[in-house]
Amino acid sequence: MKIRNVLLLVFFALALVLVPVGGQTSDGEDIAVISIEKTPEFAATLRELELDLLFEWEGRIYVIVRSQDLGSLDRSAIPYLFETQKFPALSHPQLSLLSSINGEYHSYKELETDLESLQAAYPNLAKVYTIGTSLESRKIYALKISDNVSLDEEEAEVLFLGCHHAREWISVEVPYLLGKHLLESYDTDAEVRRLVDESEIWIVPLVNPDGLEYTIHYYRYWRKNRRLNADGSYGVDINRNYSYRWGYDDEGSSPEPASAVYRGPAAFSEPETRAVRDLFLQKNFRAMITYHSYSQVILYPWGYTTVPPDKDALLRQIASQMSALMEPVNGRFYEFGQAGAELYLTNGTTDDWTFGTAGIPSYTIELPPIDQLQGGFFNPEEDIQTIFRENLPAALYLIDWSIQNFGFSDSEAKRNALKFRSPLFPRIRTSPIKN
């Protein structure tokens, strides 16, 4: 065979293994617009902080801030209001053009990356644990925050949960941002440092990763997990799958697999609820918040009945304090009350189980908006920080309450709740602001 023919054959062979390469990623910056009351004292502080001032209007100074700037304002005891929603032309395109398929909200992979980043950035304060695996083999992560984070110390443990229901995207962000805030503020905020030093805070921002991914890729309003049921329908409502009064009646949950509130074939039939259960039983939690949306209410047990629990006064008092701390931030009032009486009957829920099992203050916080017409399960991306900021004082309050009542009896705890008057947050405005 001639050399020319050999070269031709080699050329053809090479053509079969050629592979093009390339790729790119993008990321966005977290910015917001806030307003601050114009006083000589605040104006002087703003100049010192070298923030980007936009303009003055009706006695308020409007400022562009990044997330780290908010920490500086907090430390300077300057009250502020989030105003980003008033500037769609400024904030919306900038955020959306740089964002991924689900905008500024976390997907499972993004959350995984961000939790690992927090652990890497704060190795002495943050540790990520895998507490279980979902039906589709995604890991369910818990972020533990405490000083001496690798040790199991004799400290008050508090649990924050997010995204039992897949479509409630904001319920991932609030607990995640709580963890981020605690870690980022630890060195500069003495009160945060005290809370972190004296407690062990566990955050599970995404209990239902399979469901969340389905909402991102296929159907935004999916609620349940991704269990293929015996009748061919999909999903178990994992907030009806906990064992306390599981299947108590068919009003608070459903035995029908196709129902949106299908409770599953048995209590804890789902790996997602078992993951939460196993974590909870290994620890000695003093309080728990599970985030949901929407309705803008703080709910406490019982959900399975309208009959009040024996600790109704304590639960109500803590809910009342949390609501009072939240309202001044953005002017949004969170109703509060017993779940079964305030909203609707539910059974097999997280807070009924944690309260029924351990007797600890347990809350479901239904995040904004207040109703379906205001967006329902949709929250604008620029509202993520706003909603987190108004929920932050409530979360910090509950952590502090847990520390104050670590080892106390129920009656002592109740007294503490009643006399607890927001010592952590004297800087927060008390007059509501119209949104």
Nearer to other proteins, 55 or 218 (CB): 218
155 among known catalytic residues: no
Q: How many CA atoms lie within 13 A of 31 on its CB side?
A: 19
Q: How many CA atoms lie within 13 A of 191 on its CB side?
A: 17
**229 near 222, Cβ under 8 Å?**
no
Distance of closest approach, residue 17 Cβ to other proteins, in angstroms: 7
268: closest CA among 240, 290, 246, 242? 242
| Backbone dihedral region for residue 229 (phi beyond 0: left; psi -120 to 50: alpha; all else: beta) | beta
Nearer to other proteins, 72 or 84 (CB): 84
**171 near 213, Cβ under 8 Å?**
no
**346 near 250, Cβ under 8 Å?**
no
Binding interface with other proteins (CB under 8 A): 1, 5, 8-9, 11-13, 15-26, 92, 96-97, 99-103, 105, 107, 109-110, 214, 218-222, 224, 226, 232-235, 258, 372-376, 378-381
Question: Look-up: residue for tokens 């329908």?
Answer: 233
Distance of closest approach, residue 96 Cβ to other proteins, in angstroms: 4
* Helix, strand, coil abundance in the chain, percent, nearest 5: 40, 20, 40
Nearer to other proteins, 352 or 381 (CB): 381
Distance of closest approach, residue 367 Cβ to other proteins, in angstroms: 15
Residues forming a β-bridge with 52: 64
Q: Angle at which helices 312-330 and 383-404 pack, to 10 degrees?
A: 140
Q: How many CA atoms lie within 13 A of 328 on its CB side?
A: 16
Nearer to other proteins, 5 or 431 (CB): 5
The distance of Cα 281 from the centroid of its chain, to the nearest Å, equals 21
Distance of closest approach, residue 19 Cβ to other proteins, in angstroms: 5
Paired tokens of 285: 């939690």
Nearer to other proteins, 37 or 112 (CB): 112
The active-site residue out of 198, 366, 381, 382 is 366
Distance of closest approach, residue 225 Cβ to other proteins, in angstroms: 10
**211 near 166, Cβ under 8 Å?**
yes
352: closest CA among 255, 419, 256, 263? 263
Nearer to other proteins, 107 or 321 (CB): 107
Distance of closest approach, residue 214 Cβ to other proteins, in angstroms: 7
Q: Which residues are marked as active site? A: 366
